[in-house]
Chain A
Amino acid sequence: MSLLKIDGLEARHGLLTAVQGISLEIEQGETLALVGANGAGKTTLLRTLAGVHPLAAGRIVFDGLDVSALPAHRRAAAGLALVPEGRKLFPAMTVQENLLVALSAKRDGRWNLSTVLEAFPQLKPKLKAAAGTLSGGQQQAVAIGRALMTNPRVLLLDEVSLGLSPLAVQGVYDSLRTLMGKSTGKGAAQGTTVVLVEQDLQRTFAVADRIVCMLEGKVVASGRADEMTRDQVMAYYFGHRTPAAHEALTT
């Protein structure tokens, strides 16, 4: 049985339908990447899964439990955690407070303050610093660490590289690969299932098991990362319908 099942999901921004008819199944330990151009509905989909954007239609079943009507904090307590786009830290609170506030989810597991600091050692000397004063890379580490503190079973990562320097992005992805077990080949063993939104296709291919392409709120293609080519994904990404793109899609 899949860990997270999305069935006919629809979400709107006012009168505009941002996401429609999305149906996906995500297995335990899988890393699924959502790719698509700006406005494709990736962020809205993640926010709807996490419960901070209203679900207009459809069902979200998490570990056999229908969480469609649950508020965001109950979904966090069930094991769904979102690292939001733009990090969204509590800037006036210290790094330690940002991490500790996630204990509100009241989930037991291997993640606590010391294990998060082991995963992100760069945060150790910054524990008492206000989160708003940190560099972009350090802030992203706090945002991921904060989500891990909820001991999630599914981690939703929304553009974790956005606005970071290449070096910081490398650091964040090195940490993520370790967390996902990609460097040791123990993804499923780590227990955390990941749904990732990322604009950088090279990094997406490096970490994802499966890639789902979205265009104008719909899923237009999906497949195993090792069975898809960058050109195919690029064609879906931009919604090209040129002969070259068509050829790329069909070959």
Chain B
Amino acid sequence: MIWLNQLVQGLMLGGYYALLACGLSFMYGVMRIINLAHGSLAVLSAYLLFLLAERFDIHPLLGLVAVVPVMALVGWVLHRLVLERSARSGALLPLLSTFGVASVLDNSMFQSFGADTRSLAPYIDTLSYDSWTLPGGVIVGQLSVLTLVIAVGLLGGLHLMLVRTALGRRIRAAAHDADTAQLVGVDARSVYAASTAIAISTVAIAGAFLAMRATFDPYTGPQQLIFAFEAVVIGGAGSLWGTLIGGIVLGIAQSIGAQIHSQGFLITGHVTFLVVLLARVYVADSVRRWFRTLRPRITMP
């Protein structure tokens, strides 16, 4: 029963990781850019929601109505001022420039809000601790279930947007080949800016759930980035549903690690990430080679 409980808790935690990683995966899928400021932007939106809750007594979920558009604008500006220019010079420069943005954000937040840890849990009434008891006595937190539902909904919404809308078609076309997309009238520059805005909007939602389920401070971002990055790599970079699976695998691994040893939470997640990464590099290659040996050979007489 303990293991079942850990699996369920891991699944719920995976929902949060999938939510956190969705924007990172989306940006990589469309622009091949790894945004190292991802975690810091989640913390920035957490602070914005915290300000709305503390000063104007606005519920964090309601606050998202204001914060999501603001973060979308931040994403658009980030693309126009930083990513667009740096992406012209290869893959390394966007990494360095977003690392720089993360440093600026972290230290600006430290300057503005100090080192105190904050949380949005006090502003969501009983949602932070209410739970349901499932058959078999497994207890799940309502906030965790909501997080998983929002993650699945967001990934599903992004998927539908990509396959059903004109913007989605333009994004997929520009993601595959920006030059050819431009030949048929797609403004790749605007499509990339819109994609960054969408990705950072999802980061705002992830930031809300980060702050509702735990505490945060100005330097929480890099830790969140690592979790998001691990979920993306485990699930397959750029794949939306893969990101959900990657988040869940990471969540379950951490949950099982915590059950094995009190300090095993983080290390199990990191080891799982490394094993999947190495398997992608070595095992996938071996499997491909093995399949190649199965092909019928033509022998010369």
Contacts and interface: CB of A to CB of B under 8 A. Distances in A.
Interface of A: 50-52, 71-73, 76-77, 81-82, 84, 88, 90-93, 97, 100-107, 146-147, 149-150
A90 B179 contact: no
Given A73-B185, A88-B183, A102-B184, 16 more contacts: A51-B182, A52-B179, A71-B187, A71-B189, A76-B184, A77-B185, A81-B184, A84-B183, A88-B180, A90-B177, A92-B176, A102-B185, A103-B166, A104-B166, A147-B183, A149-B184
A73 B187 contact: yes
Contacts of A84: 180, 183
21 contacts: A52-B182, A71-B189, A72-B182, A73-B188, A76-B182, A76-B184, A77-B185, A81-B184, A90-B176, A90-B177, A90-B180, A92-B172, A92-B176, A93-B176, A100-B166, A100-B169, A101-B173, A103-B185, A104-B185, A105-B184, A147-B183
Nearest to A89: B180
B169 A72 contact: no
Q: How large is the interface on B (under 10, 10 to 19, 20 to 34, 35 or more residues)?
A: 10 to 19
Given A72-B179, A100-B166, A150 B172 contact: no
Contact of B183 (A52, A92, A97, A103): A52
B79 interface: no
A105 B180 contact: no
B170 A104 contact: yes
B187 A104 contact: yes
Interface string B162-203: 000010011011001101111111111100000000000000
Interface of B: 166, 169-170, 172-173, 176-177, 179-189
A90 B172 contact: yes
A79 to B, nearest CB: 10
A103 B169 CA distance: 10
A73 B177 contact: no
Nearest to A98: B173
Contacts of A106: 185
B186 A81 contact: no
Contacts of B180: 84, 88, 90
A105 B185 contact: yes
B173 A90 contact: yes
Nearest to B182: A72
Contacts of B189: 71
Contacts of A73: 181-183, 185-188
A106 B185 CA distance: 8
Contact of A101 (B170, B179, B187): B170
Contacts of B170: 101, 104
A73 B179 CA distance: 9
A93 B206 CA distance: 30
B257 to A, nearest CB: 37
B177 A71 contact: no
A97 B169 CA distance: 7
A92 B172 CA distance: 9
Q: Which of B166, B172, B180, B189 has the most CB of A within 10 A?
A: B180
A37 B172 CA distance: 35
A72 B189 CA distance: 11
B184 A146 contact: yes
A51 B176 CA distance: 18
A76 B173 CA distance: 15
A158 to B, nearest CB: 11
A102 B65 CA distance: 34
B169 A76 contact: no
Nearest to B179: A52
A88 B188 CA distance: 16
A88 B177 contact: yes
Contacts of A147: 183-184
A72 B183 contact: yes
Given A101-B186, A104-B185, A150-B185, A93 B169 contact: yes
